[in-house]
Structure 1
Amino acid sequence: MAYRIPFNQPLAGARAVKYLTEVCDEQRLSGDGRFTQQCHEWLESHLQVRKALMTTSGTSALDMAAILTGLQSGDEVIMPSFTFSSSANAIVLRGAVPVFVDIREDTLNIDERLIEAAITPRTRAIMVVHYAGVACAMDPIMEIAARHGLAVIEDAAQAILSSYRGRPLGSIGQFGALSFHETKNISSGEGGALLINDAAVIERAEIIREKGTNRMAFARGEIQKYTWVDLGSSYLPSELISGFLWSQLEIARDLTDQRVALWNRYHAHFADLEAEGFVRRPHVPDEVISNGHIYYLLLPTQAERDALIANLRYESIYAVFHYVPLHSAPAGLRFARTNGPMTHTDDLSSRLVRLPLWMGLNDNVDVVAEAVKRLVKRIN
């Protein structure tokens, strides 16, 4: 069904076509060409990380982070349940166990106050998920990790150009993972990047990304031939993906500023609705700068949330809910465990609705907001 106002509409344009044409004309379609290198340099510079490696997806970046963390069968990783399956799959594929703790009521991020109680002798890492581009409370999380000798993996799939106390998300833990899926602020259709803040593992990361071979060292002229030296897989994206991505990274700050402006426009619309108790708006802590990735509302009940989504779709506006918490999913019940009650996770996930937000939405923000305000009051 085609909606008058879709939930997402990917950004593409003449700049992307130009770079894709250049890739085709140069007949270098496989990865690690000049556009891939330009993307690496941009990410390292703007996100202040030691090394960035383009990957085929944010999922691939998380898989690599799990390998580099050294997860083995029976190890445990503490993480939120309110996230996408890729976060947990990266752990489960290493034979390790996701240990879910509840989220904060204000930001919907992992509740840092619950982490320490979930640590056991098997715990090897903490995976944080910066939901909607809003940072987790990274200072206390990093302090907990340091006290217990744990790695920190930042699932920053939604958080490019967001920051916590002036530090770009993805640059704080040992590893960060970005996604460039078509729903993200900066997109290449598919694609991702692994951000590495531990210099000691950069060489191994390059090997894992190149099917377990030392091919990158060979390409730099450091060795005379390359061979299979470690485990790995094909995590290297094509130059077409990198060329498309570069068309957006060049203007990433402007794109982010425009998206934040749309987010702020929604936020202003719903101030009165929140004050009257009809909805709850997103919360961004003072120490956080958000990239405006998701605009969501929390309705008083699941029934009201579902009714709002259905009524918006009747008016040809495509709004959606978000994750089914992983601890209640079939694979979550099979591969993971919870530590403590998941009160906020269960409650908030059932009442959340995401509104359309994409580059070019412009005045349709007002159309969506006015429809929401009218329908919420009618439903209530």
Structure 2
Amino acid sequence: MTGELMSKDKDKVLPALRVRDFRLFWISQIISLSGTWMQHVAIGWLVYSITKSPFYLGLVMTFLSAPIMMFTLFGGIFADRHSKRNIIIATQLLSIIPAFLLGLLTQLHIMEIRYVFILVSFIGLLNAFDIPARQSFFVEMVGKGKLLNAIALNSAAFNAARIIGPFVGGIIIARFNLQACFYINSFSFLPAVIALYIIRDRGVGKISGHKSVLKELSEGLLFVRQHHQILFIFITITFLSLFGIPYSSFLPVIAEDILKTGAEGLGRLAGSAGAGAFTAAMIIALKGTINRRFLYMSFSLSAASMSIFIMTFSRLEPLSLALLFMTGFGIVSFLANANNFIQQSVPDYIRGRVMSAYILVFLGMSPIGNFVIGALAEHIGTMNALRISSIVCIGISIFFIRNGRLWEEKT
């Protein structure tokens, strides 16, 4: 009897990892995403080295995210119509091309800012189809009962890579060269492709092929509008994406001009935010269901907003690292719980489209935020621009707290 109880308790710990296909997917993602985050830091350093302009830092992130804003809803339809596994395999293979070209152009000393814009736009286009398929693929692998654990573990992998990638990338840039980061990333996609080939294909979506694209788009958006709890979360995430999440695009300015810590310091800053995010994801993965979800999400959003605001006054690296840790912790705690609630509320036949709308407000709004904050930074300074955006985030937190209790009562 004791053995059976111990076995049941053991099954409750990280249950999604007990599913073979998810385990393969998760391990391969840590490798692939570490390369992606290494490249992310390298792109920021490359752009700031070429231009010495915070405006261009914001603009390059706009070019990266704009295709998501324009095409992710179509990516959701594509995910509902076709095999999600095969979509991810295709996007991972195609992602090798821009990573390799970034490395080659940098190595040949012919890199120009326009080439960066073109290549990151292609990366963004791939993400517009990759992310909705990926988000919808979790429930196919583990089922709804283990979905929160799968989302939290995916977030943990993403943010473990967010620690490893920038830290290693900063060292490589400082001690070797910039192009090595891009070449390493191009090879990092291969383990993910191999793992996906091993994972069982769940087949194509159940959506009817006779409906028009506009009809299918309207069905997904109508579902969101008719479910007030989901709509409330979407509104909150929209403003967080516009004014909170873009802070990371300006870390090269903070490392180079404010803290004077160079490329290795940039790696530490990005890695600290990743460490906070990873910690949040693992707490959710190990704990499972969050009983007082509204309170937890309110605290998380408020802590992230206040941390960004206080960081704008910091001139000490240890303090900035601690605040970035709290920022990463708060944002991921909020988003992981929001993602889980949405996925639990969505029927399978429309999941790709609703999750593509989630990606639209989560990532697709950030190009606007990056552009606005970058333009503002060009005129009033980076820290003043981030200070204003963080005050807006504090307002978002107040909005969520004042209106969220009604949402919690309904859920």
| TM-score, L = length of structure 1 | 0.27
Which structure has greater helix proportion? 2
| TM-score, L = length of structure 2 | 0.26
Which fold has the larger relative contact order, with Cα–Cα distance below 8 Å and residues 6 or more apart in sequence? Answer: 2
Which structure has greater strand proportion? 1
